[in-house]
Amino acid sequence: MKITVGIAQIHPAIGDIPANLAKHLDYIDRARAAGVDLLLFPELSLTGYNLQDLVYELAMHPSADDPTFSVLLAASRDLDVVVGFVHEDARHRFYVAAAYLSGGQIVHLHNKVYLPTYALFDEGRYFAWGDSVRAFDTRFGRLGMLICEDFWHASPPYLLWLDGADILLLMSASPGRGLDTGDRLASARWVELVNQAYASLFTNFVIHANRVGYEDGLNFWGGSMITDPNGEVLARAPYFEEALLVQTIDLNQLHRTRSRLPLLRDERTGLMQRELARILAGQQASFGGF
């Protein structure tokens, strides 16, 4: 089975949902015209990234009753779309979230489980921590979604792999940093290395959408990419420029790669569980647990 994947590498306007929604619809139209089956937007694509007190003003209840989501759901009838937004739950907790829309329905919601709150990041000040990492079924098979810092930790992609995800959808608003003599910023090198590592270690497709543009002094470097189960980069968007990246991927590559390299078959989850239980019990005894 072959599917055509699109990445909308956009520059969202900070705090301007109507402008960002219009841009989403424009990219969805262009993607549809290019034959895209699944279109991925970056982290917080509908709102912009460093929202600070705007978090509370821009939060949405994802449903057909929400004016933004009703439009996006209508646009998702003939191609699947993944968008980033601020999710306010029924108890008024605010999450960095991603929604997978297909056939006019919300198929899956992911609330970011790792909130960077160090150095230039202050997400933990504003957002609640998501508390689940779940793969989900789509018309293209079983997928998983993670948001930026979620995949700076190895455990969420690992959990999605074990939960059946053969395609990882990774969404970022990754600020560029670490200018040296390299051909890319240090932050870009790190993320690209990790994308290829996950594809290689899990023999998965990894589709990473990163945003571009500026917020105050921060730059966002783009360079969205699609990596195959051999860890090879199939397509890469330009750095620092808005772009629609379109790439057809052959899901039968999963069969071919896993015939050669049965890492999933041989993964010793029981061993992992036993040792993890032992390690956590030891930590609980020493430190009172995590």
Partner 1 sequence: MDISARLQINTALAEKILVGFIRDAVHKAGFQRGVIGLSGGLDSTLSAFLAARALGPENVLAVRMPYATSTPDSLADAQAVIDALGLPALTIPITPMVEPYFAAQPEMSAMRRGNVMARMRMIVLYDQSAAFGGLVIGTSNKTEALLGYTTIYGDSAAAFQPLGDLYKTQVRQLAAALGVPPAILAKPPSADLWAGQTDEGEIGYTYTELDKLLYLLVDARYTPEEAAAEGFDPRMVTDVWRRVRANHYKRTMPAVAKLSQRTVGHDFLYLRDWSG
What is residue 199's three-state secondary structure? Answer: helix
Please, what is the minimum distance in Å from the beta carbon of residue 257 to partner 1? 34
Please, what is the minimum distance in Å from the beta carbon of residue 196 to partner 1? 21
Return the amino acid letter for 205.
Answer: F
Q: What is the dihedral of CA 180, 181, 182, 183, to 10 degrees?
A: 110
Q: Is residue 213 part of the contact set for partner 1 (CB under 8 A)?
A: yes
Q: Is residue 56 part of the contact set for partner 1 (CB under 8 A)?
A: no
What is residue 241's three-state secondary structure? Answer: coil
Q: Is residue 85 part of the contact set for partner 1 (CB under 8 A)?
A: no
Residue 166's nearest CA partner among 200, 197, 141, 134 is 141
Q: Is residue 231 part of the contact set for partner 1 (CB under 8 A)?
A: no
Residue ranges of alpha helices (H) inside 183-222 are: 186-202
Question: Residue from 2, 193, 214, 232 that binds partner 1 (CB under 8 A)?
Answer: 214
Residues in contact with 262: Cβ distance below 8 Å, sequence separation at least 6, in sequence order: none
Which residues 137-166 are close enough to bind partner 1 by CB under 8 A? none
- Piece in contact with partner 1 (CB under 8 A), picked from 76-84, 147-155, 199-207, 209-217: 209-217
**Count of residues engaged in binding partner 1, rule: CB under 8 A:** 22
Beta carbon nearer to partner 1, 19 or 264: 19
Question: Residue from 54, 107, 201, 251 that binds partner 1 (CB under 8 A)?
Answer: 54
Packing angle, helices 67-75 and 17-33, rounded to 10: 0
CA-to-CA distance for 133 and 131, rounded, in angstroms?
Answer: 7
CA-to-CA distance for 249 and 4, rounded, in angstroms?
Answer: 6
Q: Is residue 243 part of the contact set for partner 1 (CB under 8 A)?
A: no
Residue 78's nearest CA partner among 38, 20, 26, 27 is 38
- Piece in contact with partner 1 (CB under 8 A), picked from 48-56, 92-100, 197-205, 268-276: 48-56
- Piece in contact with partner 1 (CB under 8 A), picked from 36-44, 108-116, 172-180, 229-237: 172-180
Token digits of residue 52: 């600070």
- Piece in contact with partner 1 (CB under 8 A), picked from 130-138, 153-161, 167-175, 212-220: 212-220
User: Is-contact 209 224, C-beta < 8 A?
Assistant: yes
Q: Is residue 239 part of the contact set for partner 1 (CB under 8 A)?
A: yes
User: Is-contact 167 207, C-beta < 8 A?
Assistant: yes
Q: Is residue 219 part of the contact set for partner 1 (CB under 8 A)?
A: yes
Question: Residue from 6, 215, 226, 236 that binds partner 1 (CB under 8 A)?
Answer: 215
Question: Residue from 32, 184, 256, 258 that binds partner 1 (CB under 8 A)?
Answer: 184
Question: Residue from 29, 52, 262, 280 that binds partner 1 (CB under 8 A)?
Answer: 52
What is residue 23's three-state secondary structure? Answer: helix
Residues in the site for partner 1, rule: CB under 8 A?
14-15, 50, 52-54, 176, 179-185, 213-217, 219, 239-240
